[in-house]
Structure 1
Amino acid sequence: MSNQYPKASGNRQAGGGARPSGQGERKGGWNSAGGGRKEKDKRYAAAPANKESTQDNEQWVEESALKGDDEYLAGKHPVLEAMKAGRSINKIFMSNQAQRHLIQPIMEEAKARGIVVQQVDKSKLDRLVPDMQHQGVVAQAAAVAYAEVDELLARAKERGEAPLIVLLDEVEDPHNLGSVLRTADCTGVHGVIVPKRRSAGLTAVVAKTSAGAVEYVPVARVANLVQTMEKLKEAGLWIAGADVGASEGFYETNLTGPLAIVIGNEGQGLSRLVKERCDFILSLPMAGQINSLNASVAAGVILYEVVRQRAEAQKKRGVTPSSPASDHA
């Protein structure tokens, strides 16, 4: 593998066309003004029309009052990981038909943390999280707060690692975002950045798809992705975009330094301005008739190549590679 980084694209030059290996090549710090303000997703229930009975109406009032600024987590893994991560949980609703040996870990964790567990009919869980596979477990939890971009960089510094951040360019499918978060957790990514507009947010579907990884991978939400890329460059990171037809070989590119990887949306890939601001473009080899990969799959392939290259670099320096998953094992 070559030690040389590819030429920078757009208006930016990288040392006469060759990018040196190692960490901290860029100078400067992060200025978080204008992006990454902490927010919460809020859900509001609308009163159903033509109530057939007073009992139904009282039931609706009770369930609507639960929503407020909180959200519902559905499924065994998301609920269990939320508790382990210390997320504020008001109450857990458990199906009275759930098999005890499957829900025992949740019961034990809830008891240890003093969280109320209420046995309810499965139909109530269906109403709380319609169109979701809740596996007989639903939790009323505080909404996930978005992180600041400088918090993502601080995580890398605290671990003594070269920053590794994923940026999603208008990825609107919550299942894709959840899958990216799951892979990001497994590969030691320090955080994910999404734009405020035309992007999936941190919803219950994302939490379910991520299998609880949303509790461990901070997500920053920014007003302008292009401006954020420029600020990441000022903080010392190099920006690699994933796109079809790039001239740079994927496996021949040095990915061991401070890096931010940009993944495009499900249909159009990288937008023009985002692509122009990338220092270089990575192209995954395609041998079949379909010339593109799902966004979360592309992210997984690239991130594990980063893991492989960084592990090899550590071995050469005589350092024992660490496991990304060990941080919250």
Structure 2
Amino acid sequence: MKEKTNTIFGIYPVKEALASKVIFDKVFIQKGVDSDKIENLIKDLERENIAVSIVPFEKLNRLTKGNHQGIVAVTSPVAFHSLEDVVEKALANKKNPLFLILDQITDVRNFGAILRTGECTGVDAVIIQKSGGAPVSGDTVKTSAGAIFKIPICKVEHIKDAIFYMQGSGITTVAATEKTQTDIYSLDLTMPLAIIMGSEEKGVSKSVLNLVDQKASLPLLGEINSLNVSVACGAFLYEVTRQRRL
């Protein structure tokens, strides 16, 4: 496997990158590693609100062939934005801002495609969780056709926190799910809006579905009972666009 250019591995390189204010997307630590230096580095990373995942030795070996010393960091090509700042700015500058919340989208190609469609439909920001989702990497840049540089991305500890914040700011939250009889075309989507898209395998999580203001589905007229998440997201976003152009 070819070594990825967006990884930094080894205790001292990661420590130096952190001190140099390199933007991290995720940091992977070997499960069971016994090192005071790594323990201290974990504390430094957490102090900077950088997501740390404990993973098997084999995971690190897949990320790099080098002597990783039990730690591999994945850097990000973009800086992340504060959810509060982005929402406040959007509400101040637009009558009906539009946000996307991604609940554990794991495929980098889907993530990139969603960013591309989001930029084309005027989405004001994309909100993702710090852990569990697709990395913000060079592959994301390529699949998004550069849209990643044009649309703010916010990282939050928990998706539910973002939903509560949106609702408290007067933004209606709509989850895309097949677990409803209400289709997207029957909803009014002209108000300040946040659309929640779920993971490729499980969709929007049950705990999130219990919080949203509305649930909406897409009509499926064939024998296959689901759509690719990036395709479904495009359909939702363009229905928003259609309604707002009327």
Shared topology, TM-score over 0.5? yes
Q: Give the Cα–Cα distance (whole angstroms) in 2 for the partners of residues 183 and 267 of structure 1.
A: 21
Structure 2 counterpart of 1:156, from 87, 90, 96: 90
Greater Cα shift, 262-271 or 193-202: 193-202
Give the aligned CA root-mean-square deviation in angstroms. Answer: 2.4
SS of structure 1 residue aligned to 2:210: helix
Q: Give the Cα–Cα distance (whole angstroms) in 2 for the partners of residues 235 and 142 of structure 1.
A: 29
Unaligned runs of 5+ residues in structure 1 are 1-41, 47-64, 72-129, 131-140, 313-329
CA contact (8 A) 2:174 2:193 kept: yes
**Equivalent in the alignment of 2:59:** none
Q: Cα offset for 1:70?
A: 7.2
Q: Give the Cα–Cα distance (whole angstroms) in 1 for the partners of residues 23 and 169 of structure 2.
A: 35
Q: Partner letter of residue 168 of structure 1?
A: L
Q: Give the Cα–Cα distance (whole angstroms) in 1 for the partners of residues 174 and 105 of structure 2.
A: 17
Q: Which structure's CA Rg is the greater one? A: 1
Structure 2 counterpart of 1:215, from 149, 164, 169: 149
**Equivalent in the alignment of 1:193:** 127
Q: Cα offset for 1:202?
A: 1.4
**Equivalent in the alignment of 1:264:** 198
Q: Give the Cα–Cα distance (whole angstroms) in 1 for the partners of residues 23 and 156 of structure 2.
A: 22
TM-score (ref. length: structure 1): 0.52
Structure 1 counterpart of 2:161, from 221, 227, 230: 227
Q: Partner letter of residue 44 of structure 1?
A: I
**Equivalent in the alignment of 1:249:** 183
Go from structure 1 to structure 2 and tell me whether the alpha carbon gap of 1:70 and 1:151 turns closer, same or farther (over 3 Å shift).
closer
Q: Cα offset for 1:155?
A: 4.1
What do residues 217-240 of structure 1 show as CA deviations (whole Å, max 9, x unaligned)? 110010011122011100011110
CA contact (8 A) 1:43 1:70 kept: no
SS of structure 1 residue aligned to 2:239: helix
Matched, 1:44 2:44: no
TM-score (ref. length: structure 2): 0.69
Number of residue equivalences:
184
Matched, 1:166 2:100: yes
Go from structure 1 to structure 2 and tell me whether the alpha carbon gap of 1:157 and 1:172 turns closer, same or farther (over 3 Å shift).
same
Higher RCO by CA contacts (8 Å cutoff, separation 6 or greater): 1
Go from structure 1 to structure 2 and tell me whether the alpha carbon gap of 1:178 and 1:226 turns closer, same or farther (over 3 Å shift).
same
What do residues 155-205 of structure 1 show as CA deviations (whole Å, max 9, x unaligned)? 423532312100000001111110010001000000000011110131111
SS of structure 1 residue aligned to 2:219: coil
Q: Give the Cα–Cα distance (whole angstroms) in 2 for the partners of residues 203 and 270 of structure 1.
A: 23
What does residue range 1-329 of structure 1 map to in structure 2 within 5 Å? 43-45=7-9, 69=22, 143-312=77-246
CA contact (8 A) 2:176 2:196 kept: yes
Question: Percent identity of the aligned residues?
Answer: 36
Go from structure 1 to structure 2 and tell me whether the alpha carbon gap of 1:70 and 1:280 turns closer, same or farther (over 3 Å shift).
closer
Q: Give the Cα–Cα distance (whole angstroms) in 2 for the partners of residues 70 and 249 of structure 1.
A: 40
Runs of 4+ more than 4 Å apart = none
